[in-house]
Amino acid sequence: MSTEADAPDRPVEVPAWRDRKRYWWLWGLFAPTGLFTIGLPMIWALNQLGWTELAHVPFWLGPILVYLVIPLADIFFGPDGDNPPDEVMEYLENDRYYRYLTYLYLPFQYASLIMACYLITAGDLSWLGIDGGLHVADKIGIAITVGMIGGIGINTAHELGHKKVDLERWLSRIALAQSFYGHFYIEHNRGHHVRVATPEDPASSRVGETFWAFWPRTVWGSLKSAWHLEKARLERLGKKPWSRHNEVLSAWAMSVVLYAALVAVFGLEVLPYLILQAVVGFSLLEAVNYLEHYGLVRQRTASGRYERPAPTHSWNSDHIVTNIFLYHLQRHSDHHAYPTRRYQTLRSWDGAPNLPSGYASMILLAYFPPLWRKVMDKRVLAHYDGDITRANIHPAKRERVLARYGAQERA
């Protein structure tokens, strides 16, 4: 019997189609490298020029990138509109160049974290043109910046965690350790993808629910869900939840070891900033969760079960710049249809509801509930052909939402 290894080498047939974004994906590494390539050189240059007040701004590079640069770039460059054809999917899926880019995110992510810890605790930064150490405002700025790097790193972990390769699953856990959000690996894969767009899913937001109300519900709900899922898995295996076999505990242990090492090297002073950056990181993730399925719900079938997830149950956006930075996360319907599909092969669905802009712009909008409701509630209503009762509505706000649209409960 011949095997694949015994077969003679054959030339790989390269399809005529080319990914025009092939080298654009390198921009996805700007987030974890920006502190070294833009932030520190700019701080040094501004101090050398005597513009010391402006030299404080680059410490806030993360918020500037996420809330200003990327949204403006989305507007300028617009939607992508380029889907890979069926005949290149296998070739594209097996092109290791794309997965190596996600691997590279992690060393840069942790290099930025270590550099931030050094800057926060250093007493002499004369090499940057700074007398003594950083001001508290600068320390907060750099903590928020590396928190956003860690938050985007959670998206990298999301891409890696869905894969069947053991190395990539371990890298996913490593990426999550910075934000102390290792339980996301369990809850997202085994919880969210099962319950998406249902009232039972803590990561699916509801009409009438602000981001600020969603945040504690999804943070606590996801943690509880991950624990219960892992506990049930271990019980099936005849093992106890409080053991080394518990993947939630092992994920948290990675974060404890990381934080302990950083405190041991840089001192206790760094701990509040580590906590701050972790909250910023997982809050950025939850802001994305808030907008991905807002108000969308799977209807129950005659059997009482929920219908299968479909393109209509995820808000999509095909704005190219955010897609580059988030590895096509905005092509969310395709991701839920094919969770193990690699980012470079994800495609836009014609039947999916679309956001008016990229995720980066919509995150900022989500922080201001009146503006969010003005932009999004009418889109949810239109998606359900004017019948708001078909949407996923926050139970505490249901009567108010129905009254706003003159709707009545369905029998």
* Mean model confidence pLDDT for the chain: 92
Residue 120 covered by a domain: yes
Q: What are the beta bridge partners of residue 207?
A: 393
Where do the H-state alpha helices sit in 196-348? 211-236, 247-266, 271-292, 320-325, 332-337
Query: Which whole number is the average pLDDT over 146-172?
Result: 94
Instruction: Tell whether the model's pLDDT for residue 293 goes beyond 70.
Output: yes
Instruction: Tell whether the model's pLDDT for residue 8 goes beyond 60.
Output: no
Give the structural domain span for 31.
Answer: 24-298+306-371
Give the angle 78-333-156 at the CA atoms, nearest 5°. Answer: 75
Residue 350 covered by a domain: yes
Burial group, residue 3, by CB count within 10 angstroms (0-12, 13-18, 19+): exposed
Domain count, the chain: 1
CA distance 102 to 152: 11
Residue 216 covered by a domain: yes
Q: What are the beta bridge partners of residue 354?
A: 316
Confidence tier at 14 by pLDDT (50, 70, 90): low
CA distance 402 to 393: 9
Residue 406 covered by a domain: no
Query: Which whole number is the average pLDDT over 190-205?
Result: 95
Residue 137 covered by a domain: yes
Provide the percentage of residues in the chain whose pLDDT is more than 70: 96
Residue where the block lists tokens 């907060």: 140
Residue 147 covered by a domain: yes
Half-sphere exposure of 145 (CA within 13 A, CB side): 33
Backbone angles phi, psi at 162, to 5 degrees: -85, -10
Residue 19 covered by a domain: no
pTM (two decimals): 0.92
Residue 382 covered by a domain: no
pLDDT of 81: 82
Q: What distances in angstroms separate CA 225 from CA 190, 196, 402, one per listed residue?
A: 9, 13, 30
